Amino acid sequence: MTKRPKSSSAATVTFWGAARTVTGSMHQVEACGQSLLLDCGLYQGRRAEDHTRNHQFPFRPRDLDAVLLSHAHIDHCGNLPNLVKQGFAGPIYCTPATRALTAVLLGDAAKIYEEDANHLHSRRRRDEPALEPLYDGRDVYRTLLRLQAVPYDTPFPIGPDLEAEFVDAGHLLGSAMIRLRGAGRSGTWSLTYTGDLGRAGLPVLRAPAPVPPAPLLICESTYGGRQHGAIEETAAQLGDVVLRTAERGGKLIIPAFSVGRTQTILYFLHQLRSAGRLPDLPVFVDSPLALRATEVFRAHPECFNEATLHLVRGPSGLFGEQHIYYLDKVHESIALNERREPCIIISAGGMCEAGRVLHHLKHHIEDCRCTILLTGWQAADTLGRRLLERCPEVRILGRSLALKAEVAVLNGLSSHPDHDGLVERLRPLVGTARQVRLVHGEPERAAALADGLRAAGFADVAIPDRSESITIASTNC
Ligand SMILES: [Zn+2]
C-alpha cells in the first residue's frame, strides 16, 4: 500500500442500516479522501417504511467512490441496483462466488419488484400515479457490470492510501469479512467488518477464518443471547421426520430459502441416505431460484470444505444425484400435486409468504399423512408463523383450509453463530479491538451480546443508532 501524506488519517464510519435491526445493512466509511459503503442491503420492515427507507439514500450515491460487498444475501446486496439507478458509478468489490450469487439473487428481486408493480398498477384507480418498481432488470444489469471480483486473502487497493481484503466468513457461498486499512500523515488505521459470520461445523462451506484483528470491529449480533442446538442433532431430526412421513405414505414439504438453506438440506439428505437411514425417496427442488443458486454452488468449489469437495467430485455428485429433480417450469410444479407416492418437496419461500410452496401447502395441508417442515425463523404475521403456532385453520391463496398435516420444526440450521459462538470467535481480539460496534441484531439480541463481550474483556462495546458515527483514531506507524 502506498503511503502518501494526507491532511487527515482517521476514518469515520456512519451506520445507515442494520442498526438495531437485522436488515438493510449499509455502513459508510469516509477516509483518505474516499467515501465507501460496506454493503447496500434491502431494508425489510413494514411496507410503507420499507418504501421510504429503500428509495431514499441519506447521501448522494454519485458521491460514493466504491462499495465493498460482504455477501449475496438480499439484506446486504439488495439495494445495490437502486444505488446504481440513482447515480452510483464506482466499482462494487466482492468475492467471485458472491458476484455469481448476487447476479442470481438481484435478477430474482427485480422480477418480483416488476411483478408487484404490475399487480398494484392493475388495481390502481385512474387518478392514482403510476407505480414504479424499486428497480428493474436493466438496473440489475447495470449493477452487475460494476461488480469486480477479488479472491479471499488478497489485499487490493481502493485508493492511493486505502486497502481492503476479503476473509472467508463461512456464512454463505462467497461470504466475506472485510478488512479495511488506511494510511495517512499521522499514522495508520484499520477496521474489520464481519458482515454475517458463519457457524463452525456447518456442512458444505469451509470453516470460517479467524476474525482479522483491528482497533475497530463492526460485528453482527443476530443471535446474541441465543444458543443453537447441535448440528448433528438437526440431521437426525430431519431423518426422523422423513421416515415417519414416508411410513404414513405422505409427502414431506419443506419451505426453504432457495440460497444456502436448500443446499444445506440437500447435503443432510445425502448424508442420511448414504448412511442407509433414509428410504429411497425422490427429492423435488421446486424453485427456479434454487436451481440457479445450486448451479452457482457447483461452479464454486473453492468455497467448499474437504468433505463436500469429496462428495461433489465423487461418483454420485452432491446436488446432482439421480433422485434429485430440479423443477424449473410451472407445469412441472403443478404435476407434482397429482403425485400420490411419498416424496420430499423443497420449495421456496422459507416463511410461506409467496412462491410455489403456497400451492404445495394448499394441496397437502388437509392431508394428515403429510408433514410441513419449517426450517427457519418465522416472522410475525406470516403464514409460516401461523403454521408454527398450529392455527387450526389458515388462509392460503384465498381459501380457508384446515391444518391437518403434521407441522415439524428444524431449528438448528442457522448459518449464523449463536451467542457463545460469537463470543468465542471474538475473544482472541480482546487485546486489539479498542472499539466494538454491534450491528445486524434486534436491540435485545445486540444488548445480550454486548454484555457477553464486556464480560469477555472488551472495554468499549456499543450498539449504534441509525445515522450515528464513530471515528477511528490512527496509530503512529
Ligand atoms: Zn447473510
Residues 393 and 462 in one domain: no
- Please tell me the predicted confidence (pLDDT) of residue 176: 98
* Closest residue by Cα to residue 92 from 69, 74, 62: 69
Q: Determine the distance separating the centroid of ligand 1 and the alpha carbon of 169, expressed in angstroms.
A: 10
The mean pLDDT value for 259-284 works out to 91
Query: Could you tell me the distance, in angstroms and rounded to a whole number, from the CA of residue 335 to the centre of ligand 1?
Result: 33
Mean pLDDT for the stretch of residues 396-417: 92
Which pLDDT score is estimated for 305?
93
| Ligand 1 centroid – CA 183 distance (Å) | 30
Residue 423 lies in a domain: yes
Q: Which one of 364, 385, 409 terminates a domain?
A: 409
CA of 38 to the centre of ligand 1 (A): 14
Asked if residue 435 lies in contact with residue 217, where contact means CB atoms within 8 angstroms, the answer is yes
Is the peptide bond between 174 and the residue preceding it cis, with omega within 30 degrees of 0?
no
Phi, psi (deg, nearest 5) at residue 93: -90, 140
Does residue 84 contact residue 142 with C-beta atoms inside 8 Å? yes
Task: Report if residue 1 sits inside a domain.
Answer: no
152 Cα–ligand 1 center, Å = 17
- The whole-angstrom separation of Cα 231 and Cα 305 is 16
State in Å: Cα 293 to ligand 1 middle: 15
* 86-100, 134-148, 266-280: segment of lowest average pLDDT: 266-280
282, part of any domain: yes
Same domain flag for 178 and 75: yes
Is residue 398 domain-shared with residue 428, that is, in the same domain? no
Q: How far is the CA of 31 from the centre of ligand 1 (A)?
A: 26
Reference 134, options 111, 155, 152, 103; nearest CA is 111
Output the CA 77–ligand 1 centroid distance in Å: 10
**What is the Å distance from ligand 1's center to 175 Cα?**
8
How many angstroms does the Cα of residue 279 sit away from the middle of ligand 1?
Answer: 33
CATH number, domain with residue 364 = 3.40.50.10890
- Encode pLDDT of 336-376 as tens digits: 988 999 999 999 877 887 778 899 999 999 999 999 999 98
Query: How many angstroms separate the alpha carbon of residue 25 from the centre of ligand 1?
Result: 10
Q: Mean per-residue pLDDT for 269-277?
A: 90
Both 179 and 295 in a single domain?
no
Verify that 398 and 422 share a domain, yes or no: no
Mean pLDDT over 372-392 rounds to: 88
* Judgement on whether residues 398 and 270 belong to the same structural domain of the protein: yes
Model confidence at 5: pLDDT above 70? no
Which domain-ending residue is among 366, 394, 409?
409
442 and 385 in a common domain:
no
* Residues 21, 149 within the same domain: yes
Mean pLDDT of 252-259: 91
List, for residues 142-167, the tens digit of each pLDDT value.
Answer: 999 999 999 999 999 998 899 999 99
* Cα gap 83→85, rounded to integer Å: 5
Domains held by the chain: number: 2
Q: Are residues 69 and 131 in the same domain?
A: yes
Per the domain annotation, does 201 fall within a domain?
yes
Residue 293 near residue 101, CB atoms below 8 Å: yes
Asked if residue 451 and residue 344 are part of one domain, the reply reads no
Cβ–Cβ < 8 Å for 349, 257: yes
Rounded distance from Cα 250 to ligand 1 centre (Å):
33
Asked if residue 425 and residue 306 are part of one domain, the reply reads no
Is 477 inside a domain boundary? no
CA of 73 from ligand 1 middle (Å) equals: 5
Residue 8 has pLDDT above 50, yes or no: no
What share of the chain in percent tops pLDDT 90?
67
The residue segments making up the domain with residue 208 are: 11-226+416-472
CA-based end-to-end distance of the chain: 13
SS (H, E, C) the chain: CCCCCCCCCCEEEEEEECCCCCCCCEEEEEECCEEEEECCCCCCCCHHHHHHHHHCCCCCHHHCCEEECCCCCHHHHCCHHHHHHCCCCCCEEECHHHHHHHHHHHHHHHHHHHHHHHHHHHHCCCCCCCCCCCCCHHHHHHHHCCEEECCCCCCEEEECCEEEEEEECCCCCCCEEEEEEEEECCEEEEEEECCCCCCCCCCCECCCCCCCCCCEEEEECCCCCCCCCCHHHHHHHHHHHHHHHHHCCCCEEEECCCCCHHHHHHHHHHHHHHCCCCCCCCEEEECHHHHHHHHHHHHCHHHECHHHHHHHHCCCCCCCCCCEEECCCHHHHHHHHHCCCCCEEEECCCCCCCCCHHHHHHHHCCCCCCEEEECCCCCCCCHHHHHHCCCCEEEECCEEEECCCEEEECCCCCCCCCHHHHHHHHHHHCCCCCEEEEECCCHHHHHHHHHHHHHHCCCCEECCCCCCEEEECCECC
In the reported structure, the alpha carbon of residue 222 is separated from the centroid of ligand 1 by a whole-number distance in angstroms of 10
Could you tell me the distance, in angstroms and rounded to a whole number, from the CA of residue 275 to the centre of ligand 1? 31
Q: How far is the CA of 65 from the centre of ligand 1 (A)?
A: 24
Separation of CA 199 and ligand 1 centre (Å): 11
Residue 6, in any domain of the structure: no
Please name the residue that has the C-alpha cell 468455497: 303
Cell of 77: 446486496
Query: Is-above-0.85 flag for pTM?
Result: yes
- Is 5 a domain residue? no
In a domain, 386, yes or no: yes
Q: How far is the CA of 415 from the centre of ligand 1 (A)?
A: 8
pLDDT value, residue 143: 98
pLDDT tens for each residue of 221-232: 999 999 988 888
Residues in the chain: 477
Q: pLDDT tens, 89-136? A: 999 999 999 999 999 999 998 988 887 777 666 766 777 766 778 899
Residue 2 is predicted with a pLDDT of: 38
Provide the 10 A C-beta neighbour count for residue 372.
Answer: 26
Look at residue 69 in the predicted model and tell me its pLDDT.
98
265 falls in which pLDDT band (50, 70, 90)?
very high
Q: What is the pLDDT of residue 7?
A: 40
**Ligand 1 geometric centre to CA of 71 (Å):** 7
Indicate whether 400 and 422 sit together in one domain. no
Single residue among 372, 387, 409 that ends a domain in this structure? 409
pLDDT at 476: 57
CATH of residue 145? 3.60.15.10
